[in-house]
Structure 1
């Protein structure tokens, strides 16, 4: 007997699987539309002859009527396609639309509310540890149940939403387990699939809605006049209503089957991320013991049911919870359990905690008085305990003065989309070690801009004077050379590897700017970068991160879909990318050409005719090249990123600056790359153990 496969899918294979799931969904959708067309045609031809509408009484019954079939086919396709595209287009603005539809309120990134601050801290830690931009977080204030969701097309426009019950009932470890589950959906490519499911079902639902409108209108008119025509229209409306809802029924079956499997994967990933099965298991158990369960009261909960952490429609507590020694089925689905978008609570918990006996603890939503009298120090103590736990589990030691990362590029791609306990501990300690004044400012919209400006200040005195003049001429009264220099002083007290996390931390605050403020901000960023008449690697990295994660929000641009199944049409873009990376990673032109040749060799199976670019194009050309390369399939991105790793590590080392550029390129390709951990070796794709060098304390 063959041994069972131990292969674990990496980030790119999971993304490719999600892409194949989307293709299967489209195939099912097309099959459903064909069946709907045939059903409407059969109903139409039967009603047409049955009620003898506008027909000769002597005309014999015929099943095949080409004109009627073409008319029904065209009308049905128009209705279904327009209905689907309308919904998908409405959701294309990102996860924020979904959050607001569900009644969410954007949590201010500088909030002083202890519970909201705890939630944002957990989200920030997860984002930095996974290499994704820090998402905006929404609170469903009217929902007393325990639930959460992640929504968006890509990590760039993703949002996290949680209910009031999640915020007020769960401990920090349980909250971390829930957020880790949602980050798994972000990393596994589930969000785009979920939104397309909403669009597909809406297109089919429109058929039923048209039938309902016909029925309503015909009943009114038929009360005033009788005739075969009115009866036929009434019957046809009823047929459309039935056919539409039958189509929706089978569409929901597909949605539920896809969703249930993704939920199991997200649960397992959350345990892997946190190494704390009690966290997510505890959250699921509290759902079972809470009277509100995981039910979402918002009327759009049914449409969005597959987005949630737990079943948002049927999740409710059993009436037998007050009875002792009972093991009630808390997640009370209907008899058609195959329609459920989530597996039963008991099954999910037992996969995480095999010792679970089915008994749920009694959980009550805290009273208003209890919430008002809750000591904020309790939440602070919880955060301190988490930091202590991270310090205990994280590798210790001091970071090297000039960080160098030994690298085997062929194994580098195992890190993408991979969030580990070590990365989470590293992110927690890094954030805890930042000066408190700096973290407070980076979360304020006005001062977050100043932090970005401070990151761009040059060490050259002449260039810095020119930058100070630009800052003092700014239209914003809060921006000046003095405030920027003060922020720069705080940044200088942080380790170099804190620069990218600071940019990520600023993103939620920067998203709250007005359009005019954002335009002034990006204009000043560009002027500060060009103050010395050149752009270095870090400046390009910073600008590209800002453009990639803020432009879609302010300019309402739609995310690009995979278009290229081959690298052949993109030879110039790949040549430009590898040439730029080779020069960035090597000191001399000869060494750079050798690094380029190694990168080309990594892509040898693609039969590409890549050429070394003697004249270096600007960073703007590189940015445009990355935009096109982002439209290749996930498995091609893996090969491309391996070639990039070869270029920057031709000397077997990667400096911090090169690592930042590599992570920016990965980010541009929608491939989140966790931070390199000091002491991490990629020769075996290992995460550092307790003897590796990760700073556990950053001097203030």
Structure 2
């Protein structure tokens, strides 16, 4: 899968969605006009320009304009309101709307812990923030979904049936499918689809309101009963007509969802197989859906709005079954497993005692995957690879490496990272200075800004944090993000101030501190409303020369041994962009300026981000190796750019994409 092309395709599909939406609204306006004019004619209340009442007399421009304006206002207002509601609530609003419960990151329940472990592994392997996980406790069907406007705001939801009835490999296949939707832009399109189509459904809701008003309208005096009866008949007629129009709106809504979503499910299935290199996992999940009496059905009444977001067909009755957003499960299985014999699999709840499902509840990764094994076997074949091609394209080796990293985290840190106070202590622990005087100042910051529980955890965990391997710093940070995201807005403001003060304690900002702020605070600022979503603003790099110079100059100076080597690396990267760029002197390579530069570069179109990542890749590939500092800086940069990059493997040799030569 080409990540950057997928982003462009998703943007084009949004345009297609708007075109279909406008077409549907035009048809609804015509239907609403026919209904209202017809009811008024039938009631004898409409006489067009003095002409006699006639069923063929439906041509009144003023009435058409009035109904058209009213319909546009109603539909547009409904869509706008829903989009604002979703924008404020994000993926969590969708998950809670269909009955999801946020899974506590410190849970020791077997089913929940296994689910969290799989999601955590997939996130670290794909280079995305670890998303909150919701469990749909009341849903026995086997299903899952991902929702959110961006990877930084994504949530993953799984039904109770899916969490209990799928094996670990099958669950991994389903979660990989959902991560494909996160990575290729489908998730943002899907959540916009909910908001846009909500406006169409408002017409039907108005019809139902008018019907109730007509039926339950009050009495009055006898003198007015005749007039009131006539008005009631009009209200009932218009209400019934708009209810029919609402049915047509539902028809169009399901048709649009099917037109936009159906083919993307095949692509997500294929991406999941590529991600895990285990076709039997996702195929097994689909076979269990086919063989289970509840299939993938979602009983929650709000499921109709989000039916296109689920892994399997959530609705099996009405128009949603006719205009399904998902291909038949048989077709999906045969694309993955051409030799399938047509038999479905009967499922049963997975128990903790099952040999293949045993997990260590004190760890973030499953047992049965010894550190290093599996990764070392395939490193030779995957040693030389383009970083650009792996953006949005994690491989099985990255999943295995993610398991290794998570299993290597000391148990005390792994447990603390899942707790509200512990996760904060882990982050500030990684920022704690080796200098005794600076460390004392940081401790004073904790007394002033931190909650008492955070200071206690900081003191307890500090020896373990300071002895942590360098390669584990980013995985620990990423594992802590879900618990940090569960803070209240007030708690987050205090935590954020604490992080900033810890970084300022030594009067300087080093590279790791900048990277940590971008990786941890960047996504949380978005979640807590401190930072706006970055819309595309630049479609050419011509106006961003100084920003490109700043980024590439800093990157060239990190990990190289001499100014000459840095200059050569910069020149190679500048050639990729095809621009006349100047290599900045060391005193101008400030992290403050880098922060501003990367922030502006994050507002470029996907095709430009591809070139930027290629330039960064060429810069660090100058010596065909990547240092820990380069890896952390590159990770922070691509996080800000919104480009999910799988982890760089230990000792990996990096070569620039040959297309940049």
Match of 2:301 in 1: 299
* 2:499 is the alignment partner of 1:543: no
Q: Contact conserved, 1:130 with 1:417, CA < 8 A, in 2? A: yes
Normalised TM-score (structure 1): 0.84
Distance 1:526 1:81 in 2: 42
**TM-score normalized with structure 2 length:** 0.89
The answer (yes or no) to whether the contact 2:573–2:615 under 8 Å persists in 1 is: yes
Task: Please tell me whether residue 81 in structure 1 is matched to residue 82 in structure 2.
Answer: no
Equivalent of 2:63, from 56, 61, 68? 68
> Partner residue of 2:487?
513
Deviation at residue 561 of structure 1 after TM alignment: 3.2
CA distance in 1: counterparts of 2:553 and 2:657, whole angstroms? 26
Q: How does 1:408-419 map to 2 (within 5 A)?
A: 411-419=386-394
Distance 2:447 2:237 in 1: 74
- Where in structure 2 are the equivalents of 1:596-611 lying within 5 Å? 596-604=570-578
After superposition, the Cα gap between the structure-2 partners of 1:639 and 1:475, relative to the gap in structure 1 and judged at 3 Å, is closer
Of 671-680 and 350-359, more deviation after overlay is shown by 350-359
Output the CA distance in 1 between the equivalents of 2:13 and 2:67: 29
Q: Is the 8 A contact 1:442 1:448 kept in 2?
A: yes
Higher mean C-alpha deviation, range 242-251 or range 581-590: 581-590
Q: Is 1:626 the counterpart of 2:598 in the alignment?
A: yes
Q: Matches of residues 464-503 of structure 1 in structure 2 within 5 Å?
A: 464-480=439-455, 483-484=457-458, 486-503=460-477
Shift of 1:471: 3.6
Cα distance in 1 for residues equivalent to 2:128 and 2:277: 20
- Say what the alpha-carbon RMSD is for the aligned residues: 3.1
Q: Is the 8 A contact 1:406 1:653 kept in 2?
A: no
Structure 2 match to 1:394: 375
Once residues 406 and 272 of structure 1 are traced to their aligned partners in structure 2, the CA distance between those partners, rounded to angstroms, is 18
CA contact (8 A) 2:378 2:397 kept: no
SS at match of 1:654: coil
| Displacement after TM superposition at 1:275 (Å) | 1.3
Deviations 1:481-514 (CA, angstroms, capped at 9, x unpaired): x853552432344431111111100001111222
1:37 aligns with 2:23: no
Distance 1:43 1:541, change over 3 A: same
Contact 2:371 2:405 in 1 (8 A): no
Alpha-carbon distance in structure 2 between the residues aligned to 1:16 and 1:303: 25
Shift, 1:661, TM fit:
0.9
* Alpha-carbon distance, 1:338 to partner: 4.8
Alignment correspondent of 1:173: 169
Aligned match of 2:310 = 308
Structure 2 unaligned regions, length at least 5: 220-224
Q: CA deviation at 1:132?
A: 0.6
* Deviation (angstroms), 1:665: 0.9
Q: What are the residue-to-residue correspondences of 1:432-471 with 2, within 5 Å?
A: 432-471=407-446
Which one of the candidate residues 267, 270, 288 is aligned to 1:268? 270
Kept in 1: contact 2:251–2:319 (CA 8 A): no
1:313-462 equivalent positions in 2, closer than 5 A = 313-314=315-316, 338-364=322-348, 375=353, 379-380=357-358, 387-388=368-369, 392-395=373-376, 411-462=386-437
1:668 aligns with 2:640: yes
The answer to whether the Cα contact below 8 Å between 1:79 and 1:206 also exists between their aligned partners in 2 is yes
Could you say which residue in structure 2 is the equivalent of 1:256?
258
CA distance in 2, matches of 1:412, 1:355: 35
- Is the CA contact 1:281–1:353 (under 8 Å) kept in the aligned structure 2? yes
Distance 1:463 1:490 in 2: 19
Equivalent residue, structure 1, for 2:507: 533
Alpha carbons of structure 1 residues 230 and 612: separation in structure 2 relative to 1, 3 Å: farther
2:652 is aligned, of 674, 680, 683, to 680
Match of 1:127 among 123, 127, 133: 123
- CA deviation string 1:24-79 (max 9, x = no partner): 10111112222222333344444455544253784267655343233222222211
Distance 1:619 1:245, change over 3 A: farther
Match of 2:199 in 1: 203
Give SS of 2:256's match: helix
SS at structure 2 position matched to 1:430? helix
Instruction: Name the SS for the 1:533 alignment partner.
Output: coil
CA distances 1:506-551 after superposition (whole Å, capped 9, x unpaired) = 0011112222222221112111111221111111010111222212
Q: Which residue of 2 aligns with 1:139?
A: 135
Residue 616 of structure 1: CA displacement?
2.6
Instruction: Specify the SS of the correspondent of 1:387.
Output: coil
SS at match of 2:453: coil
What is the aligned counterpart of 2:497 among 523, 538, 548?
A: 523
2:283 maps to 1:281: yes
Partner Cα separation in structure 1 for residue 583 and residue 69 of structure 2 = 52
Partner secondary structure for residue 196 of structure 2: helix
1:193-231: per-residue Cα shift (whole Å, max 9, x none)? 111111121110111211222233234449854566554
Following superposition, the deviation at residue 240 of structure 1 comes to 2.4
- Deviation per residue, 1:358-409 (Å, 9 max, x gap): 222333558xxxx6xx54887426999863388553225999xxxxx9988x
- Over 3 Å counting, the alpha-carbon distance change for 1:352 and 1:377 in structure 2 is closer
Q: Distance in 2 between matches of 1:599 and 1:336?
A: 51
C-alpha distance in structure 2 between counterparts of 1:407 and 1:365, whole Å: 42
Task: Quote the Cα distance in structure 2 between the aligned partners of 1:283 and 1:577.
Answer: 44
Match of 2:144 among 118, 125, 148: 148
Closer, same or farther: CA 461–382 of 1 in aligned 2, 3 Å: closer
Which position in structure 1 is the counterpart of 2:245? 243
Structure 2 CA distance for aligned equivalents of residues 177 and 657 of structure 1? 33
Counterpart position of 1:560: 534
Pairing partner for 2:630 from 644, 651, 658? 658
CA spacing shift, 1:563–1:208, aligned 2, 3 Å: farther
How has the CA–CA distance of structure 1 residues 398 and 629 changed in structure 2, closer, same or farther, with 3 Å as cutoff?
closer
- Distance in 2 (CA, whole Å) between partners of 1:466 and 1:48 is 78
Question: Where does the alignment leave 5 or more consecutive residues of structure 1 unmatched?
Answer: 1-8, 315-332, 400-404, 687-700
Find the residue that maps to 1:395 and give its secondary structure: helix
